[in-house]
Amino acid sequence: MPRPLQFHAFTMNCVSFINHGLWRHPEGRHVDYTDLGGWVDLARLVERAGFDTLFFADTVGVYEGYQGGRETTVREAVQIPNGDPSVLIPALAHATEDLGFAFTSSVQQAHPFEFARRVSTLDHLTGGRVAWNIVTSFQPSAARNFNSDTAIALQDRYAWAEEYMEVVYKLWEGSWEDGAVLRDAERGIYTDPARVHSIDHRGERYKVAGPHLAEPSPQRTPVLFQAGSSEAGRTFAGRHAEGTFIIVPDPSSAEVAVSKVRERAVAAGRAAGDVTFVQGLSLVVGSTEEEAHRLNAEFEEYLSDDAFLAHVSGNVGKDFSVIDPATPLTEVIKNDVNMEGVFRAMIEGAPPGARTWGDMAKLLVSTRVVGTPDQIADQLERWAAAGVGGFNVTVVITPGTFEDFAEHLTPVLRARGLMRDRYAPGTLREKLSGAGARLPERHPAARFRKL
């Protein structure tokens, strides 16, 4: 039997996350994203379905560049409007018992002292069920929101992230010793002051004296996820991440990503198995093959080429409107001898099944698997054989995607041993890894434990 895999319900506090256009589907509740009751219902649903976490992506900039601007992005609600995901978590934790809550936060968006305190507060309030998806924000529009005139260069983003990690590790792991909190009402000592330390961090970007203001939370450092795909991003994942996200078109591409990050984990003094690889997939399941394909065809009618192209333009930093979405990829290559290198490279590596420019944009943003529960489980096993240890099940229709998952997939995945039968006790880290509540000694955070 394969080891149980991780399953994350992948969504965002916004109208249109990945499967753009589907917010118009009559069965979807996408437009109700400002309603807390809807989120509470969703958290309960995904817990019933056995997911490990409700996973929130986030962005702090706007996708721009398509047709030279951001009009399509705004018109089609491509991740704008959106709301802060971390604010939802206490209410959702209160309505659930075991579900984890992962949220994305960019090193550019919050000062590490403020961020560390917010995360410790969340870790306390959730009983240790919080994970942080560390991103560095590649979008120039995000950088312009946080004191910069231009995009931050790749190497600088990851150098920034390294310092950011050092500050938060010092606060979470080093500032308060175990046993500092005595809660001794008789002697009037809540905390032993000798066991609470300043961190006195003085780096290139931050000066943080400390001490951390929150007392140690169940996990101290939250479970760490990361999603960088450049070489610098992979090196960062190898050093810090307990889970890393990939969106690759097929299992053989996954194998490449997995081996590269594992090498870097080992080079950083960690074990190859310390990092779990989580592939993003949109699943369309039906009780018969015909039903699944009928549903998929119905969804495709709502998908918006324009919105996908606006999303990819923002991701890649090139205007994808210069080519008509209906143009077959073979024609694009034939006609456009002056095609920019980045477009050519993308076409040459286009995901299987992409026939046109519009298809390619869709498939770059989301890999979709369509079929019966058994067919989908077969596919997931193929990914698992390539080293993938979990899936970000990307919302197609909210909440329908997760209702279908609970009804059709949970029983089959459990019967095959691919999904846990029940939640393990303890914090999110204990549930996911079966190890301790805190990061292991070989993780770089551990060296800040004795300040």
Ligand X SMILES: Cc1cc2nc3c(=O)[nH]c(=O)nc-3n(C[C@H](O)[C@H](O)[C@H](O)COP(=O)(O)O)c2cc1C
Which DSSP category does 303 fall into? -
Which residues have CB under 8 Å from 300's CB, separation 6+? none
Closer of 53 and 59 to ligand X (Cβ): 59
Amino acid of residue 372: T
Sole binder of ligand X in the list 247, 275, 396, 418 (CB under 6 A)? 247
Contact window for ligand X (CB under 6 A) among 14-22, 24-32, 52-60, 253-261: 52-60
Give which of 226, 12, 213 is closest to 121, Cα–Cα. 213
Closer of 138 and 308 to ligand X (Cβ): 138
For residues 49 and 43, what is the distance between their CA atoms, to the nearest angstrom? 10
Q: For residue 196, what are the β-bridge partners?
A: 176
Sole binder of ligand X in the list 73, 106, 401, 410 (CB under 6 A)? 106
Q: What is the radius of gyration, based on Cα positions, of the chain?
A: 22
Residue 63 touches ligand X, criterion: CB under 6 A: no
Residue 104 touches ligand X, criterion: CB under 6 A: yes
Determine the size of the site formed for ligand X (CB under 6 A).
Answer: 20
CB of 58 to ligand X, least distance (A): 5
CB of 104 to ligand X, least distance (A): 4
Residue 281 touches ligand X, criterion: CB under 6 A: no
Residue 228 touches ligand X, criterion: CB under 6 A: yes
Residue nearest to ligand X (CB): 233
Residue 136 touches ligand X, criterion: CB under 6 A: yes
Straight-line distance from the first to the last Cα atom of the chain, in angstroms, rounded to the nearest whole number: 44
Give which of 357, 361, 316, 363 is closest to 334, Cα–Cα. 357
Residue 229 touches ligand X, criterion: CB under 6 A: yes
Residue 138 touches ligand X, criterion: CB under 6 A: yes
Closer of 17 and 23 to ligand X (Cβ): 17
Residue 280 touches ligand X, criterion: CB under 6 A: yes
Which residues have CB under 8 Å from 450's CB, separation 6+? 174
For residues 427 and 298, what is the distance between their CA atoms, to the nearest angstrom? 40
Helix (H, G, I), strand (E, B) or coil at 184: strand
Residue 372 touches ligand X, criterion: CB under 6 A: no
| DSSP line for 380-431 | HHHHHHTT--EEEEE-SSTTHHHHHIIIIIHHHHHHTTSS-SSPPSSSHHHH
Pairing of strands 6-12, 53-57: parallel
Residue 377 touches ligand X, criterion: CB under 6 A: no
Residue 241 touches ligand X, criterion: CB under 6 A: no
Q: State the sign of the Cα–Cα–Cα–Cα dihedral 237, 361, 77, 371.
A: negative
Which residues have CB under 8 Å from 377's CB, separation 6+? 409, 412, 413, 416, 418
Closer of 73 and 372 to ligand X (Cβ): 73
Closer of 318 and 447 to ligand X (Cβ): 318
How many other C-beta atoms lie within 10 A of the C-beta of residue 440? 15
Residue 367 touches ligand X, criterion: CB under 6 A: no
Residue 145 touches ligand X, criterion: CB under 6 A: no
CA dihedral 87, 91, 93, 99 (to 10 degrees): -80
Pairing of strands 390-394, 276-285: parallel
Sole binder of ligand X in the list 65, 216, 233, 371 (CB under 6 A)? 233
Residue 82 touches ligand X, criterion: CB under 6 A: no
Sole binder of ligand X in the list 19, 73, 86, 137 (CB under 6 A)? 137
Residue 59 touches ligand X, criterion: CB under 6 A: yes
Contact window for ligand X (CB under 6 A) among 42-50, 131-139, 289-297, 395-403: 131-139
Contact window for ligand X (CB under 6 A) among 27-35, 210-218, 239-247, 289-297: 239-247
Closer of 231 and 289 to ligand X (Cβ): 231
Residue 122 touches ligand X, criterion: CB under 6 A: no
Task: Give me the residues that bind ligand X (CB under 6 A), please.
Answer: 57-59, 104, 106, 135-138, 154, 227-230, 232-233, 245-247, 280
